[in-house]
Amino acid sequence: MPAVQDTIDRVRKIDVDQYKYGFQTEIAVDKAPKGLSEDIIRFISAKKDEPSWMLEWRLEAYRRWLTLEEPTWARVHYPKIDFQDIYYYAAPKSTPGPSSLSDVDPELLKVYEKLGIPLREQEILAGVQKTDASELEEPSDNVYKSGRVAVDAVFDSVSVVTTFKKELAQAGVIFCSISEAIREHPELVQKYLGSVVPTSDNFYATLNSAVFTDGSFVFVPKGVRCPMELSTYFRMNEKNTGQFERTLIIAEEGAYVSYLEGCTAPQRDENQLHAAVVELVALDDAEIKYSTVQNWYPGDAEGKGGIYNFVTKRGDCRGDRSKISWTQVETGSAITWKYPSCILRGDDSSGEFYSIAVSNGYQQVDSGTKMIHLGKNTSSRIISKGIAAGFSQNTYRGQVSAHRKATNARNFTNCDSLLIGDQCGAHTVPYMEAKNSTAQFEHEATTSKISEDQKFYVMQRGIPEEEAIALIVNGFVKDVIQQLPMEFAVEAQKLIGISLEGSVG
Amino acid sequence: MNMHTQPQRTPAETALIDAFGDRLSLLPGDGAVMLKRDDAIEAIKHGLPTRRVESWHYTDLRRLLSVVPDFDPAAMAKAIAPIVEGSAVLPVLNGKSDAKVPAIEGVAVQCLSEKLIDGSIAPGLDPYGSDDAIGALNTAFVADGYFVDIADGAELEKPIELQNVQAGGQTHVRLAVRVGAGAKAVIVERQAGDGAALVSSVSQLVLGEGAEVTWLIVQEQPDTATHLAQFKAHIGKNAKLTLFVMNAGGKLVRQEVMVKTTGEGADFKLRGINLLAGDTHSDVTMVLDHAVPHTTSTEVIRNVVTGKARGVFQGRINVHQYAQKTNAKMACNTLLLSDDGEFSTKPELEIFADDVVCGHGATVTEIDHDHLFYLMARGVDEKSARGLLVKAFVAEVIEELDDETIVEALEARLDEWFVTHG
């Protein structure tokens, strides 16, 4: 089949060339020795200047981890990971807790510039406001101006800089790296850390609990609507390191926050491990919107290299009428193993999951969600769009369950898959468990290729085939893109275009 | 998915392994068959599947199969009246088939024990995978059943009813049917009895080119019995198989349906109703392989859950890489009528070909209040209104079968269930 050969050639070409974040930066780093032991954990904890309770917490998780086995139920295949062959701590040397951007290694700033994350401009912008004392006193309208994004940049194991901190503080919002939060706000961290994803949760979450090095911490107090979008950019740079970040977001009664994360990594032949944990807590009437654009290095055309993305993300709608919404655009990683979930504990709480997973080359995606209905009158909605091309395998795996007391639980699930090429696979594995007769669950799934009629219709209007496909695919994923904050929606649309380029057979 | 090695055997596992030692000398089979039996009991020695085995996620057999009754040589089961009058009945009574069954034109019938003794059935005895506990259990213990061969072009006027009736103890039965090219038949697989038995029953069906078969599984075990059944079929070129499953009894039930389309133009229809009451645990698991291009399938499953019953439906549609132009659709609808009942469903799609149209839908809900109101506004009391709606919900599936006598017979079974279970 010549068409298929053509596809393979094109896919091969793009997979090597199109990953534009594949560069590597020479930055002096401070590394812990390779391998994992109690000593390494003590080393990490000491480096972070952590209180003793935190070290104990980590050690307990480590001891637990030693008793666990790697999960094998997902539809992903990879050689066994040698957990002793990984650096668990790598920090850019020149930045022992930068107080301002001027302390930050210029090499590092260059990295973020290359990534298109304008830390400096924003810092300058913030700096201008800082000099004006009068504006600092009262939370001016400026603070509530939309369109700006506060950024926390995480480089390998540590958070290098967080912008807009002062402005956020005026509104009462705490946005900082988790290491800082452990030092500055131990009472909040102690109260909430591990309360959604306990240390014993699963193999990778437990590993993360033992060795997590940084991540973001967000606390939005009662009644506060966070004045700007918060975001974190994760960058893996060092060879042989694992990235283990931990994010904790708390929205108190009536609070609202929208948070987005983006990730990239250099192009390497070996596989790198990324095992993050994200915990969200929403109290009464609170709302958290969490968006991800994941673009870790997916490996080359032969499937060599790339990131293993084994992530545990879970939100707890702890309060009544609370709401948590997950939106994800997954285009990167050699292997994705990720199930952002919602525990709908509060009465009338609701959870949402919108996902686009695009896989090309030899990528393997096993992703989905869990909606656990515990409270009364809870509702959840799942929209998942999987697009498989090249030799990739794309699996949706999701669970919806209503417990005995979850009266009037309501769920709607829709997962559609699109196949491009005949060497890839698309799989749907939903689990529905109803233990309450008033529960109402609906699930529908379809799998098909792009209809020839649709393609013909678009091409007939003079649009070339590849663009026609991108157009149809973007229409296919529209429901999800609409859920993303504006800035990311544009990025996500482009990303999908790039990921699929050359996949037309 | 390997069965996990269990550190300690449960009483049920021990009982099965001991029973195998005791029965070995009584089990029919040539060398090849006996080797298969040894392999099968080895698999059981590794432990019955737990919920950690994906295909048994909702039916933890190791935990649920708490008691295994002893073989009971004195148990006497009697043949029952066929559901469609005038059917040719092939009874297996407490695991023993009748050597003197009436002759049916165009059909050759043999007792399965003969096929075991001459070893000709040996290749079909392999379990399909390491998680095939029912296959392994049956292969280890199967003693009898029937081998039915329907000649090419034969068109049977009356249904054949394969009856598996138990009166306690253990029965392990295998029903193998080959349908020749262009042949047409209706086959009823009847699973019934009145004892607290452990039943394993494996049906194997091969459809030749252009054959058309309607296969009805009517399972009405008493609420003390454990019923572990498997239906395996290969559908040849342009052949059509309609499988109807009615599950209306048993304490612990697992009905597996493993179907593969092996010829282009093959068509498979599955229609199922699961009527769950009391504290039954009933699991219907289907794996459908679209292995060649241009094949079609539709599956509709309707479940009614009352009392403390737990229901499971797992349905997986595999579309192989070269099975282009596959058209497969599956729907699983559940009425959950009791707060103590539960229903879990896992409809899966595994697709490796791109030019296909596949879809599945699943719903779980209670009776629509608007429908109830509509009926009650017309003077129907609530109980009758609910009854009407529930019956309509499942009867819809039965009515899809073309044959009127079969529809009537099944509706009669349905009525009987509603009478006993309110």
pLDDT in tens, A39-58: 888 988 888 888 999 999 99
Nearest-CA distance from B237 to chain A in Å?
Answer: 23
Q: How many whole angstroms separate alpha carbon A410 and alpha carbon A370?
A: 14
Residue found by looking up tokens 């300690």 in the block: B8
Contact B348 A432 (CB under 8 A): no
Cβ separation of A428 and B348 shorter than 8 Å? Answer: yes
Across the range B310-324, mean pLDDT stands at 93
Helices A38-47 and A52-66 cross at an angle (nearest 10°) of: 150
Distance from CA of B210 to the nearest CA of A (A): 28
Q: Do A447 and B342 touch (CB under 8 A)?
A: no
Query: Which single residue is written with the structure tokens 């044959």?
Result: B403
The whole-angstrom separation of Cα A386 and Cα B351 is 12
Q: Which residue has the tokens 């399965």?
A: B112
Q: Which of B26-30, B126-130, B283-287 has the lowest mean pLDDT?
A: B126-130
Closest CA of chain B from A430, distance in Å: 5
Question: Diameter of chain A by CA atoms?
Answer: 71
Contact B192, B225 (CB under 8 A): no
Q: A90-92 and A277-282 as β-strands: parallel, antiparallel, unpaired?
A: unpaired
Residue A379: per-residue pLDDT:
95
**Residues A192/A137, Cβ–Cβ less than 8 Å:** no
Give the start-to-end residue ranges of the domains of chain B. Answer: 11-421
Percent of all residues in chain B with a pLDDT value above 90, rounded to a whole number: 79
Nearest alpha-carbon partner for B335 in B326, B349, B345, B325: B345
Q: Is any Cβ of chain B less than 8 angstroms from the Cβ of A68?
A: no
- B359/A446 Cβ within 8 A: yes
Q: Give the C-alpha separation, A112 to A64, whole Å.
A: 37
Largest CA distance in chain B: 70
What would the two tokens of residue A272 be? 């790198």
A333 or B193, which is more confident? B193
User: Which residue among A417, A429, A441 places its CB closest to the CB of B364?
Assistant: A441
Residues of chain A neighbouring B342 (CB-CB closer than 8 A): 433-435
ipTM: 0.84
Inter-axis angle of helices A465-476 and A486-500, to 10 degrees?
130
Average pLDDT for residues B164-179, to the nearest whole number?
95
pLDDT for B67: 84
Q: Name which of A51, A411, A237 is nearest B362 in CA terms.
A: A411
Q: Which of residues 42-71 of B touch A (CB under 8 A)?
A: 54, 57
B354/A422 touch (CB, cutoff 8 Å), yes or no: yes
User: In chain A, which residue's Cα lies nearest the Cα of B338?
Assistant: A437
Of the two residues B296 and A492, the one the predictor is more confident about is B296
Cβ neighbours of A484 (radius 10 Å)? 23
Q: Which pLDDT does position A446 carry in this prediction?
A: 86
Pairing relationship of beta strands A229-235 and A149-155 according to DSSP bridges: parallel
> What span, in angstroms and rounded, lies between the C-alpha atoms of A423 and A358?
15
- CB-CB neighbors (< 8 A) of B337 in chain A: 437
- Cβ pair B346, B317 in contact under 8 A: no
pLDDT of residue A268: 63
What whole-number distance in Å separates Cα of residue A166 and Cα of residue A175? Answer: 9
Q: Is B210 helix (H, G, I), strand (E, B) or coil?
A: coil
Quote the Cα angle for B69-B75-B80, to 5°: 115
What's the CA gap between B141 and B41, in Å, rounded? 9
Distance from CA of A286 to the nearest CA of B (A): 29
Contact A88/A244 with Cβ under 8 angstroms? yes
Q: Which residue of A has its CA nearest to B344?
A: A433
Which residues in chain A have their CB less than 8 angstroms from residue B308's CB?
Answer: none
pLDDT at B102 (0 to 100): 83
Beta strands in A115-228 (DSSP E): 149-155, 158-162, 174-177, 216-220
Bridge pairing between strands A149-155 and A158-162: antiparallel
Place of tokens 């009536």: A254
Beta-ladder partners of B314 = B285, B346
Nearest to B296 by CA among B217, B243, B239, B248: B239
Closest CA in chain B for residue A408 = B365
Query: Residues 393-432, chain A: which have Cβ within 8 Å of B?
Result: 404, 417, 419-432
Q: Provide, as residue numbers in chain A, all residues whose Cβ is less than 8 Å from the Cβ of B356.
A: 419, 447-449
For β-strands B357-365 and A440-449, DSSP reports them as antiparallel
pLDDT (mean) for B2-8 = 56
Contact B334, B311 (CB under 8 A): yes
Enumerate the β-bridge partners of residue B178.
Answer: B149, B206
Query: What is the bridge-based pairing of β-strands A425-434 and B342-351?
Result: antiparallel
Identify from B301, B354, B366 which residue to disrupt to test chain A contact, counting A C-beta atoms within 10 A and taking the largest count: B354
pLDDT of A483: 80
Judged by a CB distance cut-off of 8 A, whether residue A55 touches chain B is no
Mention every residue, 6+ apart, whose C-beta is less than 8 A from residue A52.
none
B363 in contact with chain A, both atoms CB, cutoff 8 A: yes
Whether residues A417 and B351 touch (CB distance < 8 A) is answered with: yes
B3 min Cα distance to partner chain A (Å): 13
DSSP string, A54-75: HHHHHHHHHHHHHT------SS
Task: For residues A114 and B135, give the distance between their C-alpha atoms in angstroms, rounded to a whole number.
Answer: 59
What DSSP assignment string belongs to B86-138?
TPEEEEEETTEE-S-PPPBTTEEEEEHHHHHHTTTTGGGGS-SSTT-HHHHHH
Task: State the pLDDT at residue A25.
Answer: 65
A457 and B CB contact within 8 Å = no
Cβ atoms < 10 Å from Cβ of A186: 15
Question: Over 80: is that where the pLDDT of B271 sits?
Answer: yes
Q: Which residues pair with A446 in a beta bridge?
A: A416, B359
Classify residue A23 by its DSSP letter. -
Check: CB of residue A414 under 8 Å from CB of residue A384.
yes
pLDDT of the residue at A140: 35
Residue of chain A whose Cα is closest to the Cα of B355 = A449
Q: Over the stretch B251-269, which tens digit does the pLDDT of each residue have?
A: 999 999 999 999 999 999 9
DSSP 3-state assignment of A432?
strand
Count of other CB atoms within 10 angstroms of residue A142: 13
β-partners of residue A440 are: A410
Q: Which residue has the tokens 């009895």?
A: B193
What tokens does A9 get?
């050639």
Distance CA A434, CA A409 (A): 9
Dist CA A463 CA A169 (whole Å): 50
B336, B347, B349 ranked by CB distance to A434: nearest: B336
> Bigger pLDDT: A110 or B12?
B12
Q: How far is C-alpha B9 from the chain's CA centre?
A: 28
Find the angle CA(A466)-CA(A467)-CA(A469) to the nearest 5 degrees: 65
Q: Which residues of A touch B349 (CB under 8 A)?
A: 417, 426-428, 445, 447
Structure-token match 């509603």, residue found = B418
Query: Chain A residues with CB inside 8 Å of B372's CB?
Result: none
**What's the rounded Cα separation, in Å, for the pair B273 and B218?**
10
- d(Cα A78, Cα A204) in Å, to the nearest integer? 15
Tell me how far apart the alpha carbons of residues B340 and A6 are, in angstroms, rounded to a whole number.
57
The whole-chain average pLDDT of chain B stands at 92
Which mean pLDDT values do the consecutive 10-residue runs of chain A (505 residues) have? Answer: 45 48 66 83 87 92 90 84 84 53 61 57 39 34 46 66 77 88 91 91 91 88 88 73 88 92 69 89 95 81 82 94 92 88 95 90 91 95 90 92 93 90 88 91 87 88 85 84 75 72 56
When pLDDT is cut at 50, 70 and 90, the band that residue B203 belongs to is very high
